[in-house]
Structure 1
Amino acid sequence: MVLAVGLSAFGVGCGDGTEARSESDSTDPLGIGKEVTVPISAAVTTVVSQGAEPRALLRPSYLPGTAQQVTLHTGYSIQQQINDQPSRDFSTPALTIPMTARADGDDVDLTLGTISSPDPSLAKALTAAGGSHAGFDMSELGAITALRLEPSPDTSNAARAALEQAFYQAVYRSIAFPDEPVGEGAVWTVRQEVTGGVALDQVTTATMTEREGDRLTIELEVTQTPKSAVWAMPNNAGTLDIQDYVMQGTGTITVDLGLPLPVSGSITVGGHQAYRDSRSASMLRQTINTQVSWTE
């Protein structure tokens, strides 16, 4: 499996005096008292260039009992402005999530360690989340097909919501391997729909710059394009016309085909959006930046 990073969250408000919220502001997060499985939209790979010889199929292959200790770092910032009002900051605190991953066939189970954040209030709330579980269902090409979340029973809503956003950021930068042999220099694309307030067509271009045995270095370029010119806001709150939408990013990760999570790497994705309410002529502008990195 190749995981890189970052997921846009959208504010949900428009019009003078209407406050927007990001996904992490939810007061009703998933996984309260039970495991929740969230299906992930299919990823379709297309080879652009097979690269140099020798070429081989890239397939994750884990020995029985394979375990890996790795740390996920996430950051998410959003600045929002409605009309000529002052810009407001709806950013969420950065998270550092150490975890132990255990692979069993196409199932990867994650046990979370002591989670930290530079925000004192969130850091305190996260103390009860240690020992929580999460997991991925995988395809033979390494694509994530489902995300499982099972926070510890004492985990607060704020901590649950922060963990959900962090894992969504990681999942929606997952990379599937191509279904044909490739070598160094190979280039392939992964197309996937990113669901949310605005359905996005996400295309990730992967370039395998180096291979040493099972260890691969892959450069990534990500672009997102709205699948519709209209944003249907949550809770039947109306629609906004999408006036402008730019989200793109780059990064590099190192993966080992014998381990379930990236060995190292990071990716930054960011951009800006503008939405217009045709009824009131109000304009909502957002600037978003996400960062995710993996370290052993």
Structure 2
Amino acid sequence: MTTNPPRRALITGASSGIGEAFARELASHGIALVLTARRTDRLEQLAAELRSRHGVEATVAPLDLARPDAVEALVAALDNQHLPIDILINNAGYGVPGYFDESPWQTHADFIQVLMTAPTELSHRLLPGMKARGYGRIVNVASLAGHIPGSAGHTLYGASKAYLIRFSQSLALETLGTGVNVTALCPGFTYSEFHDVSGSRQLVSQMPKFMWMDAPTVVRQGWQAVEAGKAVYVNGRVNGLIKSLFKLMPDALALRLVEKQGRKFRMGGH
């Protein structure tokens, strides 16, 4: 009797935070993993732990998604190693602090490549195989920031997350009936290294504790959402309420509120 091979997931930004939590969650379900990020040592340590704890196959693929050829090279390597991807977690991301014109263009170009172009290209290259096999899951880790007006500073962050939300909605409709589910996961403030990397740790630490969620909870909810076929999922009641309130507000009022709060905090973000 033959047995079907385990599902395999590709997780970007897997070395910490929500990406690492996704690796742990999926490994607990017996799903094979391909882990990619820039920090090879962190990836190898995580892969070894998950192999030992769950007995899953875990492949490490160190990669800088800011390189324009990174996705093409990664997918070619997966094809050469006969590692079909059934589950794509587009999680890699970071923030660029400061006002738009204070950073060189290359900094913004790299940001757009990592947070918008790479997840779009990965989805485009991996989706045909998912459809052909009649099963696929794509989770685009967006943010509550994609549902509210943009704020001063971190200029492209909210815009990139709004893009991922709309992209996910369209792709979810296009894949109806194919066995492929697509979800934009929209956490708010999540305990991770994100705010250390973006330089906003001191500011966001002033936020009340009820605004925060832990990465494993965000991931469990996200996995349940994509399995249920939800095109967009906002984590937590507080974040859901914030999204609803901003949706009901007149645009001018919402923008003024974000401008006032943005002096102290960058709203949303994982």
TM range (shorter): 0.3 to 0.5
Greater Rg over alpha carbons, structure: 1
Name the TM-score, length of structure 2 as normaliser. Answer: 0.33
Higher RCO, Cα 8 Å, sep 6+:
1
Structure with more of its chain in helix, by fraction? 2
Name the TM-score, length of structure 1 as normaliser. Answer: 0.31
